[in-house]
Amino acid sequence: MSILIKSRSAEALTRKPAENTAKVDVNEKKEAKWTELHHAYYIGNEEEAKDLINKGADLDARGMEGYTPRLLGITNGTIISKRDELSAYEISFLSHKVLANWLNLEGRVSIDGTKVRLERFYSNFMFLEIADSLKAFREDSLFSKFRLGNKAEKLEQALREAYDAKRSDKEIVRKIKNGELVFIASGWKMHTITLCFMNGYLAICNRGGGKYDPTITAFKIDPANMTEDLLFVMTKFVKDKEAFQAYSYIYEYLPEKFLASTDNLCKLFKTIAPSPQKSENCALASVKAAVRFAWAMLLKDEPDQQTLAHAREETKFLGSIKTAARLVCAKLHKNKSDKQTLAYAREETKLFTDFSAMRVFQEFIRTHILQCHVLSRSAKLSFEAKKSRFEKTYSKHEENLQGNLVSLP
Residue 367's pLDDT band, with cuts at 50, 70 and 90, is: low
Higher-confidence position of 299 and 389:
299
Q: Are strands 114-117 and 216-220 parallel, antiparallel or unpaired?
A: unpaired
Q: Is residue 389 part of a domain?
A: no
Residue 288 lies in a domain: yes
Distance (Å, whole) CA 71 – CA 226:
32
Strands, DSSP E only, in 167-303? 182-188, 191-198, 201-205, 216-220
Q: How confident is the model at residue 145 (pLDDT cuts 50, 70, 90)?
A: confident
- Residue 197 inside a domain? The answer is yes
pLDDT score of 312: 84
**What is the span of the domain harbouring residue 324?**
125-358
3 inside domain: no
Residue 110 within any structural domain of the chain: no
144 inside domain: yes
Query: What tens digit of pLDDT does each residue of 52-74 get?
Result: 999 999 999 999 889 999 999 99
**Tell me: the pLDDT tens digits for 230-246?**
999 999 999 889 988 89
pLDDT tens per residue across span 269-295: 999 998 898 888 899 999 999 999 999
Inside any domain, residue 100: no
Where is pLDDT greater, at 73 or 102? 73
Q: How many domains does the chain fold into?
A: 1
Closest CA relative to residue 44, chosen from 77, 87, 88, 82? 77
Quick check: is 4 in a domain? no
Rounded Cα distance between 215 and 218, Å, is 10
